[in-house]
Every structure is written in structure tokens, then in C-alpha cells.
Chain A
Amino acid sequence: MEGAVQIQVNGLPRGCRSGSTVGDLLRELDIKTDSVAVELNLEILDRKDFELRSLKEGDRVEILSFIGGG
């Protein structure tokens, strides 16, 4: 599709609209932001920056949250 960029999210390839933000991606994935951490190309983002950081070709995004553990 036109205006699309290829990124990697949690190790999986994914296309997204050019100019879309981390916040857009989270909404697209239906992920609530209240207990997730997002790493963009190894940089941990502040939650308030999710809407400010746009995604570029080749970006690697990691979205993490809490699971059961000891």
C-alpha cells in the first residue's frame, strides 16, 4: 500500500501507515497503555511520548507488560 512503512513489532514484521505514531500502533493492536512499556529501537519511551513518536521504515518496536512470575 502507498505511504506504508515496514516495521517490526515484538519480533514480527508489520506494515503501518507512514506517519503513524506509537500511540496509533497500540490502538491498532488494541493494547491499553496503562501497564505497558514500549521500546523503540532499544530506547524506552515515556508514556507521554507515545503520541509524539512516529514510526519509520525499519523501526523495531517492543511492547512489554507484566505476566505471572516469581
Chain B
Amino acid sequence: MYDDRLVIAGREFKSRLWVGTGKYKDFAETRKAIEVSGADVVTVAVRRVNITDRSKENLLDYIDPKKYTILPNTAGCYTVDDAVRYARLARAAGVSDLVKLEVLGDEKTLFPDTAGLIEAAGILIKEGFIVLPYTNDDPIVAKKLVDIGCPAVMPLAAPIGSGLGIRNPYNLKIIMETVKVPIIVDAGVGTASDAALAMEYGADAVLMNTAIAGAKDPIAMAEAMKYAVHAGRLAYKAGRIPRKLYATASSPIEGML
């Protein structure tokens, strides 16, 4: 789909499937799954370097930052201060101003604290960050995030890692109508049909981690997701037929005996 590239803040992306790098068995599996998925954006977390055991390998030895856009997250941050601190650390460690901004509200649901999210996004945007906010499926919050300068919004389909699929398709559709920036459905996808559905609704991309890394065969699921996102995008562009209650014959009546 080279004529159908995703553009965010002037950056072009080939793939509409973005993937996380957490929860894999090892870095080799991480690399293989990402390769097979065709994703060109991969999310990473920022954490303390293990200084007691330096034999451990680095993720970026397996995921080449020249080949992939590395999107650091602020996962695990429950306050504006923490999220801003981690975003700044990510920029200091990395190569770009991109950040997947998470300000979480609750450990059980990992739902975003949207008030904190808007506040943190405002601070980081003023510092020149390209803020991609992980947000709730709330059209009003999405609009506020765009109004303060987020070049895309990333509403959840369902709680992180839940695999429940799209819990509120109507809100996602309203978000797509409300804001004129790319919508990346982030979190909650369970299987290929969930990803395809998100794209059929008109999402510009889907970001997932657990659905692939947690599958029995992550490499096969990575491939399934690649096709699902591609198929969903094509179907969206093609335009589906309207739903009707009754049948319409596909074969003509004319010419029958």
C-alpha cells in the first residue's frame, strides 16, 4: 500500500500495524515477531539499566533504530511528574522527540488518567515533544489532546493486555469523526478480527503488544495481524455494503425456466 502511507507530524510510516516489544520469551523472538509483523514503529519502555549483571543483552542490539522508529512509552507512570520525567529520559536516551504518553489512573484497569494526560501532554508539547497520547475512548478528551497539539491520538480498544477487543466501537467512530488527526487504536486487541475491525471502522493504525507476544505462537500471530490490519484497511477504503435485514439475490431472476 505504498500510495496509502500514514503521516504523523510530517513523518511517513509504511505500516499501519505498530507493535510493542514487551512480554516476549527472548530478544530473538521479539525481533522475529516484529520482522514478520511488518511493523516499522515499535514501542519500548524506559527502565534502570541492570548494573549488577552486565551480561544481559540490550533490546536495541536486536531492534535496529535505523530500521525502525523507536517509540518510547511512559508506561508505569501514575503522575504527571513521573510521565514527564520518563519522557525526558527517553528523549535523552534516544534519537527522537517521539513519545507514547501514558499517565495511568489505576493499577487494576490501567485506564488513563485523562486529566493528568492532558496536563502532561501540554508540558511536553511546549518542550518540543511529539506526543502520541494513550487515551480513553472518549471523544471529548481526544479533541482536547488534539487542540493542545497532539498530532495523533491513541484511544484504547479495551484495557491493556485484556484481549477483549473493541468495547466501544461507537465512541471510536465518534472520535474518528471529531478529530482530524490519525487515530491509532492502542491496547485491548485480542486477535486478528479485532485488528481488522478497528481498521474497518476507519482507524489509521493499530498498536498492540500482548495480542502477539502472548499468543501460543507469537510469530504466526504477528503474521496474522499484518494481514488483518492490511485487510481491514483495504476494506475500509473499498467501502462496505450497507447492512440490510432481508436478502437480495445475487443471481438474476431473468432467464430462469
Contacts and interface: CB of A to CB of B under 8 A. Distances in A.
Whether A and B are associated in the same complex: the answer reads: yes
Contacts of A35: 58, 60, 65, 93-94
A59 interface: no
A29 B89 contact: no
B205 to A, nearest CB: 15
A45 B88 CA distance: 10
A4 interface: no
Contacts of B92: 37-38, 44-47
Contact of B24 (A37, A39, A68): A68
B166 interface: no
A44 B89 contact: yes
Contacts of B94: 35, 66
Contacts of B27: 68
Interface string A36-55: 11110000111100000000
A69 interface: yes
A44 B93 CA distance: 10
A19 B187 CA distance: 47
Contact of A68 (B59, B90, B93): B59
Residue picked from A10, A65, A66, most chain B C-beta under 10 Å = A66
A19 B93 CA distance: 25
Contacts of A11: 48
Determine the main DSSP class of B at the interface with A.
mixed
B22 A64 contact: no
B117 to A, nearest CB: 17
B45 A68 contact: yes
A29 to B, nearest CB: 5
Nearest to B27: A68
A69 B93 contact: no
Given A35-B60, A68-B24, A70-B160, A44 B51 contact: no
Contact of B75 (A36, A39, A70): A70
B49 A36 contact: yes
A2 interface: no
Contacts of B20: 68-70
Interface of B: 20-24, 27, 30, 43-49, 51-52, 54, 58-60, 65, 70, 72-73, 75, 88-90, 92-94, 160-161, 187, 208-210
5 contacts: A12-B52, A44-B89, A64-B93, A67-B21, A68-B30
Given A68-B22, A70-B209, 14 more contacts: A10-B48, A11-B48, A12-B51, A29-B49, A31-B54, A35-B58, A37-B46, A37-B89, A47-B92, A65-B58, A65-B60, A66-B70, A69-B209, A70-B210
